[in-house]
Amino acid sequence: MTAALETRNLVKRFGGFTATNDVTLSVRQGARHALIGPNGAGKTTLINLLTGVLAPNSGQILLGGEEISRLPTHARVGRGLSRTFQINQLFGDFTPLDSMMLAIGERQGHGGMAWRPLSRDRAVADEAAALLKRFRLADAMGVATTLLPYGKQRLLEIALAIAAKPKVLLLDEPAAGVPEEERHEVLSLVRELPADVTVVLIEHDMDLVFSFADRISVLAQGALFAEGTVAEISKDPQVKAIYLGEDA
Ligand SMILES: Nc1ncnc2c1ncn2[C@@H]1O[C@H](COP(=O)(O)OP(=O)(O)OP(=O)(O)O)[C@@H](O)[C@H]1O
């Protein structure tokens, strides 16, 4: 089966420094794939290459078998590649329902829909409410986003990315800053997304990675260092060593 997302011999240099070193990676359709690695391993650089924020020096990126390496970010989103960000980028005064209706309107190609009477957008409002409910935000739908607990804000970010109906969703530390007791909830809701959404997760918290992922790629010094199932990666002595090296 064609991979949902692939890189072939991807290279990114900053001056003389190689931040992405010949990375060939394949993410299968429907995967819950985690990308891990110690600080500075090149995880964020790789995500920026995938989304088109950075241009590679060489190599290819394929989405569903089609090359997207030279497309601008918005064209990649249009093809089905969405991301959430490490930093909270929500409109604070908007309610989750407002933001969600805008996101759905954006997907449908009419950005100005917020000014149309709500009654004419019944289908949009219904879809927005259903999506918010799936992310356990039904009770928070009408509250200004800034007033929501941080864990709910992170869930809203993910829900908004899902509104674009992505084929591949890139999550960059979606549980960062979320209180310990809510972190597993965030990731388990993502894990339960329909199988037609492939998820690539960058995460530092190993407990979360091991309970979320069905496949793990480990980056170290810009290169793919190891790849395998949770069972394989969690007991790989060399993977342990690079993390212990970081702790030391
Ligand atoms: N714009 C840039 N110019 C020069 N060097 C950069 C640039 N962006 C990243 N780097 C370097 O590339 C390396 C990889 O950085 P990157 O942020 O991708 O790592 P990371 O795995 O995401 O790290 P962390 O887990 O700490 O966020 C680092 O050594 C970093 O200093």
Pocket test for ligand 1, best of 43, 173, 200 (most atoms within 8 A of CB): 43
Tokens representing residue 13 in the block:
């240099």
> What spacing in Å lies between the alpha carbon of 179 and ligand 1's midpoint?
26
> What spacing in Å lies between the alpha carbon of 219 and ligand 1's midpoint?
12
- Domain residue spans in the chain? 1-80+166-248, 89-164
Ligand 1: residue whose CA is nearest its atom 1: 14
Contact residues for 131 (Cβ-Cβ < 8 A; gap 6+): 100, 159, 162, 163
Nearest by Cα to 218 from 53, 65, 41: 41
> What spacing in Å lies between the alpha carbon of 158 and ligand 1's midpoint?
24
By the 8 A CB rule, do 201 and 213 touch? Answer: yes
Assembly ipTM: 0.96
Percent of the chain with pLDDT over 90: 61
Instruction: Output the pLDDT for position 207.
Output: 85
Determine the atom of ligand 1 nearest the C-alpha atom of 222. 14
Look over the chain and give the mean of its residue pLDDT values, rounded to a whole number.
89
Q: Angle 150-163/96-107 helices, nearest 10 degrees?
A: 20
SS3 237: helix
Determine the atom of ligand 1 nearest the C-alpha atom of 46. 18
Q: Which residues line ligand 1 (CB under 6 A)?
A: 14, 17, 19, 37, 39-45
> What spacing in Å lies between the alpha carbon of 28 and ligand 1's midpoint?
26
Contact residues for 47 (Cβ-Cβ < 8 A; gap 6+): 35, 83, 170, 172, 202
For the cut 60, the answer to whether the pLDDT of residue 30 exceeds it is yes
Of the given ranges (83-97, 181-195, 196-210), which has the lowest mean pLDDT? Answer: 83-97
> What spacing in Å lies between the alpha carbon of 2 and ligand 1's midpoint?
30
The superfamily CATH assigns to domain 1-80+166-248 is P-loop containing nucleotide triphosphate hydrolases (3.40.50.300)
Instruction: Output the pLDDT for position 118.
Output: 52
For the cut 80, the answer to whether the pLDDT of residue 90 exceeds it is no
Instruction: Output the pLDDT for position 216.
Output: 96
81 CB-contact burial (10 Å; exposed 0-12 / middle 13-18 / buried 19+): buried
Q: What is the mean pLDDT of residues 230-245?
A: 86
Pairing of strands 198-202, 215-220: unpaired
> What spacing in Å lies between the alpha carbon of 53 and ligand 1's midpoint?
14
How far apart are the C-alpha atoms of 43 and 104, rounded to whole Å?
Answer: 29
pTM: 0.89
Confidence of residue 86 (pLDDT cuts 50, 70, 90): low
Pocket test for ligand 1, best of 14, 35, 203 (most atoms within 8 A of CB): 14
Confidence of residue 59 (pLDDT cuts 50, 70, 90): very high
Instruction: Output the pLDDT for position 42.
Output: 95
Q: For 189-216, b where at least 16 C-beta lie within 10 A, e where not — what string?
A: bbeebeeebbbbbbbebeebbeebbebb
